Amino acid sequence: MKVRKAVIPVAGFGTRFLPATKAQPKAMIPVIDVPAIQLVVEEAARAGLDDVLLVAGRGQASIEDHFDRTPELEAFLEGKGKHDLLKEMRALSEIAQVHVVRQKEALGLGHAVGIARAHVGDEPFAVLLGDDLIHPSVPLLSSMLRVHERYGRSVIAGMEVPKADIAAYGCIEPERVEDHLDRVVSIVEKPDPEQAPSNVAAIGRYVFTPEIFDALSRIEPGAGGELQLTDAINILAQEQAVYAYRFEEGRFDVGNPLDYLKATVELAVERDDVGPAFRGWLADFVQRQKLV
């Protein structure tokens, strides 16, 4: 069955970005002038997933509003003759069919994905985490969807990280199938680096068969006292094949201030409007730093 739906959990507190996230959702923090959540929804749409479910929390109505029409703003822009900007604002509501469901308690990523069951039904679906931005030139999700179509099984994104950093991720025990593709023998959440089965980390892109919901119903609170999606993936991997599609570049953890800055700079220098002037300023800034 073709994958049509994407689930994007956005209910986290964004503690790594306080105080910026004290009064606004972390998903709405802009990368240049585009909220991170818009970049993730656009990624899903590029891969052909035009039905998007946002799993949001309390106080995050601005996320839903961002993808809705705003007649007052549109009338203002039209009256000012700002037709290009008007077209851009109207296009936001046409990126995908965006639905929102509330996660009433912050019980973990596994709980957030489980909430999507009523919307997803018995179809395969994708999960995209908003903290992980993938450069538009990297067709990660499309590649994972092709693996799913080929094997009919769940696929998670995998990336090698320094062994010392694996404690921040779900860690995959891989068995090589072919270039860029492993079978997941097991996966464990945030292991001690000395006991980790590999340095292959699960990154925030997943394509799941609907059996993941049964696995989610069987997990208990795990790392951090939360219902971990990783634990459900491990259950599923013992009952049917789960694959890890490896990629090497184009990922930014924008929940991390340093990676957020890297994403902002890299995407800014590539833009036609601000890129040329920004590249010139950046080169001058680097040169001045060398002289300090």
Task: Report how far apart, in Å, the C-alpha atoms of 280 and of each of 270, 274, 286 are.
Answer: 12, 10, 10
Show the low-confidence residues of the chain (pLDDT under 70): 291-292
Residue 82's domain comprises 5-255
Within 13 Å and on the Cβ side, how many CA atoms surround 236? Answer: 25
Question: pLDDT for 89-115, tens place per residue?
Answer: 999 889 999 999 988 888 899 999 999
For helices 71-79 and 83-91, what crossing angle results, to 10°? 160
Based on the domain organization, do 69 and 188 belong to the same domain? yes
Residue 20 and residue 39: Cα distance in Å, rounded?
Answer: 19
The closest of 124, 126, 122 to 245, measured between CA atoms, is 126
Based on the domain organization, do 263 and 235 belong to the same domain? no
Based on the domain organization, do 207 and 108 belong to the same domain? yes
Based on the domain organization, do 76 and 172 belong to the same domain? yes
Cβ neighbours around 178 below 10 Å, total: 7
Based on the domain organization, do 58 and 169 belong to the same domain? yes
Residue-level pLDDT at 291:
65
Based on the domain organization, do 124 and 266 belong to the same domain? no
Based on the domain organization, do 274 and 195 belong to the same domain? no
Based on the domain organization, do 50 and 155 belong to the same domain? yes
| Total domains, the chain | 2
Based on the domain organization, do 185 and 165 belong to the same domain? yes
pTM above 0.85, yes or no: yes
Based on the domain organization, do 250 and 265 belong to the same domain? no
Based on the domain organization, do 269 and 142 belong to the same domain? no
Residue-level pLDDT at 189:
93
Based on the domain organization, do 233 and 137 belong to the same domain? yes
The closest of 187, 191, 195, 189 to 244, measured between CA atoms, is 187
CATH number, residue 125 = 3.90.550.10
